[in-house]
A = this chain, B = another copy of it.
Amino acid sequence: MKKLLLLGLALPSLAFAVPPVPQRVGEATVALREQALHHDTHAWDIVEGLTTEVGPRLAGTEAEARARTWAVRKLTALGFSNVRVEEFDMPVWVRGEERGEILAPFPQPLALTALGNSGATPARGIEAEVIGFPNMAALEAAAPESVRGKIVFVTHRMGKTQDGSHYGYFGAARRQGPSVASRKGAAAIVIRSIGTDSHRFPHTGVQAWAEGVKPIPAAALSNPDADQMERMLARGRPIRMKLLLTPRQIGSRKSGNVIAEVPGRDPNAGVVLVGGHLDSWDLGTGAVDDGAGVAITAAAAKRILDAGGARRTIRVVWFGAEEVGLFGGNDYRRRHANELHASASESDFGADRIWRVDFALPASAAAVADRVEAALAPLGIARGRDRAQGGPDIGALVAGGVPAVTLQQDGTDYFDLHHTHDDTLDKIDLAKLRQNVAAYTAMIATVADAPENWTHNPPQQ
């Protein structure tokens, strides 16, 4: 034993690596994490309250305003400081009636929903032949004369991935499909839902018209309805469809970010930003997207608050108007990008177990990342291979140099519910929610109390 010890001391890397800061996870952090893991009730209370008492809360609507009122009351009651709303203006699109049906040769209704910023049909709807495309490349390659006046159907199917990375690729049908179809003169477009379930819930989601493109009616079919459309088209007879969508652009309205803080002891050490988005799509009650995220992050901050706070200020931001174009994230960046942020973390990927942590911390905070990693490991979380990008509302901040810590939820089933009527409280598992709170608590405790000092990263090119 003595020999080994001497041998150890003889190694330079051990002899000289006397750390100026803790190398182990502190007892206080462990206690906070374990309390959250086994006993947290704050997160459930928040997501239960928000989804029950407010329900759906589309950005810019009266429902989102009620959510802000609810949020201010809740965060104040929890004892946070500096609870406030930072308002901004935004253009608002609201859903109207929506119906689709096959007229011939196999008459039957279809389950569909308008995509964000969809154009409207006349009040009686439109009737046109359906032209099907297996994917976006096929639509892009199509001659305009083959598409003109028809209802375009794009049906490529998204699969499940743990990291959700396929959303980018397969989401193109929603994000670019409508503009491509409009440019070619289509009467309307219906896409297979960007979702991984097989239930008759269509998945909505935002799309923006490319410069100069005329809005046309744009909707998503549920996956079983997209299957049905494929089977009908495979029979080789012309498929005639009726589509009625009456959404409207109602002009500029107020939205806002709700902010609450746990003031830190060292005002020069930077802010630890955590949050999610308060708005939801209008179809479900926004439990998983993103009631869970605001609940998890505020519950974790509340646990630090109750433990007496930390060196750094913890800032909880419940962003407004994320779903429809990141208006809340952009407003926050406009107001706060020049403040020193020690780190930023957004939870906007549901409430399944966190399995991975990624970092974008400067080299001077490398040991902080190591300690976060160690604090999370007992929760079944390991460091990933990627640099943290931040979530949707903080992505631009992080690209601009704000350090980030990303706690990644398991997204395998996330796109089963995403943007559907079915995103409701019953889909949240309390044990998994607590694991999320425990992870955020341990991360915040470690970062906010780190004795190291660091500044922002260089902006990404």
Contacts and interface: CB of A to CB of B under 8 A. Distances in A.
A276 to B, nearest CB: 20
B422 A200 contact: yes
Contacts of A87: none
Contact of A424 (B54, B224, B424, B425): B224
Contacts of A412: none
A285 B55 contact: no
A109 B228 contact: no
Contacts of A105: 53
Interface residues of A, number: 34
Given A108-B285, A228-B285, A231-B48, A422 B199 contact: yes
Contact of A54 (B106, B285, B421): B106
Interface in A199-251: 199-201, 223-224, 227-228, 231-232, 235
Contacts of A107: 55, 63
A145 interface: no
A199 B48 CA distance: 17
Given A200-B201, A200-B284, A285-B228, A106 B55 contact: yes
A425 B285 contact: no
A288 B65 CA distance: 43
Nearest to A199: B422
Contacts of A285: 108, 228
A111 to B, nearest CB: 6
A426 interface: yes
A69 interface: no
Given A224-B426, A231-B48, A200 B421 contact: yes
- A51, A109, A223, A424 — which one has the most chain B CB atoms within 10 A of its CB? A424
Given A201-B200, A284-B200, A227 B56 contact: no
A200 B63 CA distance: 20
Contacts of A109: 55-56
Given A48-B231, A200-B421, 5 more contacts: A53-B105, A55-B108, A55-B109, A111-B421, A228-B285
18 contacts: A52-B232, A53-B235, A54-B106, A55-B109, A56-B108, A56-B109, A63-B107, A198-B427, A199-B199, A199-B422, A200-B201, A200-B284, A200-B422, A200-B424, A224-B425, A224-B426, A227-B424, A227-B426
